[in-house]
Structure 1
Amino acid sequence: MASFTVPSKHDRKVIVRHKMVGMAVFDDQFLCSDDMELFAVAQKIKAIHGGAVPGQLRLWLNSVEPNCIVRHFGQTLREAFMLDSKIELPVPADSDGSQTAQVTVYYDFDPLGENCALLNAHLTPINTAKSQKA
């Protein structure tokens, strides 16, 4: 028989589902505590991509809409998703007696700026006056 408990607000675990906008192949999830900051969530997503991520990471909470974009990366998951304000019904507890919430974070990478030599559209032509003199 399953045990039921109402967890305290400080022992909640969160399953963070992260989904890259337009690329379902990168969809994944990880388990953390609800006091993890959104900055740490972004760093974890970057680490999953190998750590060498160009540009900045943009995050959205629950859906990709202008009013859902993350602007304050210092918020905890509890604050950002308002986990304390949700109605807490008795739910099946994990083996250690804690409750697991589930949230979804969408993300995308900002495009590289013009300072990238490989993507710079303003390269000098190969046939310059100096190369013609030589």
Structure 2
Amino acid sequence: MVLAVVAGLVAVLTITAWVLATNRRSPAPDPATPEGTVLLYLLAVAEDDDATMIKLLDPSLECSAPLPDFYQTPPASLSVASIKTTGDAATVVVDITEGSGGPFDLYEHEETFELIRNGSGWLITGEPWPVFACK
């Protein structure tokens, strides 16, 4: 009987922890930081929001709407791997997982984003994934 009560309590605690973990909201990315700018850009990529993407890209890339269709399935998960800031330049490395969600249909890759300071914010420059080039 005691074992059944303990097992039931463990099950309830496990379910409660899972519900809390899945309902936790991440803070909104801060566009005043290099990593926040990259995350906002990648969210715009996932939502196919050309206007927001272009706003976060360096104007010297000469990108305009509509941007090319990049892929069939938006990223499943994003994780900032590293951030390096030197003066008015920054490099943000992001681990990206793409796929439709099946265990054998996932593709993981690392992308590096170069940024330049623009007033109080940052702009993505270089050849950013998945746009690479607009000219």
TM range (shorter): under 0.3
| TM-score (norm. length: structure 1) | 0.27
Return the structure number with greater relative CO, CA threshold 8 A, min gap 6.
1
| TM-score (norm. length: structure 2) | 0.26
Structure with the higher fraction of residues in helix conformation:
2
Larger Rg: 1
